[in-house]
A and B are shown apart, each in its own frame.
Chain A
Amino acid sequence: MLALRGIEKSYPLAGGTLPVLKGIDLNIDQGEMVAIMGSSGSGKSTLLNVLGLLDGFDEGSYTLGDVDMSGLSEKQGARYRSRFLGFVFQSFNLIAFKTALENVALPLFYQKVARRERQQRAMEMLGKMGMDDRADYLPSELSGGQKQRVAIARALITSPRVILADEPTGALDSTTSHEVMQVLREVNASGITVIIVTHEADIAAQCDRTIRLHDGVIIEDGRSGEVVEPTARGAST
């Protein structure tokens, strides 16, 4: 489903560059639920951004489905994001002046889906998240957990093959975090690949597989409960 080969990524600094990802090799299959862990500065968010086509990479190759993602134009990147990927952010990133329904329907707007169909599908998705009674609420009128449910509904509305979640429970209390993880597990159970960046071990424990990064290198990659020693340049399934 997702295949990274020798991905290198560095950021320019005054007087040089800062390598962030150092030759990442990684395969993630359809339907997996993967946690990416690591300390601050380990490169986990950068890896998620590369996977989500939100950021480019310097070296290596990235295949999503059967499509090579190297050297995509800005427009092509937008199209693949819209078609294959859904995003869930730590700070929800709902658009403040749009209602829950309008936020969920927004990705369909960029797919040029007709307004009536957009609203119908968004309402159905909110219903699946148990949020249909909050469809007309603005984000400011929702709790943290409700916002994240709306954000997940928005990520799912285009029927993506992969959900990328960056610290989805980072701004939530433990009860709400549990509820959100329950939702993500249900999403994963429907066959959608879920990749979560987290620094919380109990969140990672709820995933099928945990990848641990350190200093831009995969140092652990294993199913929950098992730890696999990394290869020289990383690890793969």
Chain B
Amino acid sequence: MATVTAAAPRVALPGFLHNRAARKLVLLAVAAAVLVPLAEARWAGGSWPHALTVDLSKPLADASDWVIDNRDSHPLFLYFFGYISNAVVLFVRVVYLGLLAAGWAGVTALGALVAWRVAGVRLALGTAAAFLACGVLGMWVPTMQTLALMVVAVLASAVVGVLLGLAAGLSDRLDRALRPVLDTMQVLPAFAYLLPVVLVFGIGVPAAVLATVVYAAPPMARLTALGLRGADPEVLEAVESLGATARQRLLTARIPLARKELLLGLNQTIMMALSMAVIASVIGAGGLGDRVYQALASVDVGAALAAGIPIVLLAVVLDRVTAAAGAGEDRSAPVQWAYAGAATVVVALASRLLGRLDWPASWTLNIAEPVNRAVDWMTAHLYSGVPYIGGTADWAGHFTTWILDPVRDGLQWLPWWSVLLLVATLAWLIGTWRTALTAVLAMAAIGVLGVWEPSLDTLSQVLAAVAVTLVLGFATGIAAARSDRFERVLRPVLDVFQTMPQFVYLIPVVALFGVGRAPAVAAAVVYALPAVVRITAQGLRQVDPAALESARSLGATGRQQLWQVQLPLARRSLLLAVNQGVVLVLAVVIIGGLVGGGALGYDVAFGLAQGDLATGLVAGAAIVGLGLVLDRVTQPTERRTTEGA
């Protein structure tokens, strides 16, 4: 990786310039001193100059019309997209009918037996309980629809991811080409690219599956490449000296050695696919996500929760099972798998003979009503008029007036070139000149697209939400790192909040904070907090015990240990937590367009709702740009490839 020295002038440097950060700053200052007066002379004013924008609405509207008019006649659609779409429908249908044919008992038995073979008895019981809970909540059929969609989407993502990962793992050139693409995909809010997929494939399952694959394949690709590249060179050499061909080396050494990374990749892919399953309900994915979305429409938090809980359960079960598969060795003999398979068939046949394929309607429990009562009570009592501290509505008002407004107005008041300069400085100080360049170009692209103002509005919401998230997250993370008991209590809570579809808590945040940017920020904080807490706690716990021990022996108090040993040593993790927090917050601030967040999120929602490619796609592109900027600005030089969340 090229460093700054390459670009630095080759003259004797004054002493302070030996510091890398200072050198970067001086270079930037020089560049700014030359460029800013030029820019200011040509295009004065605060906002992005109009002369530098490109109006894409006409070509985009034409493109959209062309697609709609030719979707049923043009060869591109008939012979390419049509096949993809049909194949998706076919596979999903096969899986769905298979699940229905197995009946609820068969599916539960299959899930439990797989969990038993992979991860042991405890997880098997948990899996069975989770499936039964889905039935009890009256969500059996939607759960199966989501499961069918997930199976196909995860398989497709895994295949695509492994292929890309193999390419990047074996060829340096492809690695260089793919890495920025994968990095970008990782930070893309899912909401941003639903629109183009819908335009081509129409509302429905194919569009949902493809959007999910685009979202869920990158982690698989990254981790596959990482696993292949991380293989022990000595082992490879040994294999080579035995005269193995390239293919044999790949199949017998490199891939088996990368098993752990591959399974971790699968785990991440499943998690991302599941979270996408809900967002994709906006484009007709059906299943659980659709139930959540429909419940949202009638302001029915209880019903949304009833559909959200199966998603959480599926996520937790799948996460634990795949994680166990990654951690443990493959310990089961094929015979036992055969037993498990036979047991499933027996159960499925038995339930079929008994005529109990469908989940019995009388075995369901209605949780919607009590949940709604609780939510009503909470919002009624917290909304306003709480003595001394004021209600949540008052807080939201103050937060908007005293924090969101000044930050937004400040950002929009800044001259456009100074925003670019600020981005460049931050990105370069934390990362390399490459990351800085990407960030600046992405920010400039936002200006060129003509959405400078709304983007800065969104940015202000992101900044405010990140600040709140980090304060709360670091505090909780530190507490969790210092107390085992607290962490044990916290873990299931974090699990739930991390996997609970964001749509479920959009309504309660409105009930608490009113319509506007404040609820968007609140939802973002709720969503990003678990990841930040987790990475912080993990980072602090990984601090070398010897360092702590020596600090203690020197008589450092608990507070001194924390501030002077643990936190500095965990700096990498903390930076990663910031990075993750920023990316997650952005994703939800965009969805916050649905609760009055306005700005880019509203534009994307508007584009989706009105089929307006010009508004939606430009906003989507701006979100991508913003995501890149935020990621690069917070990205430490050597990024840790395994995301903690």
A in complex with B: no
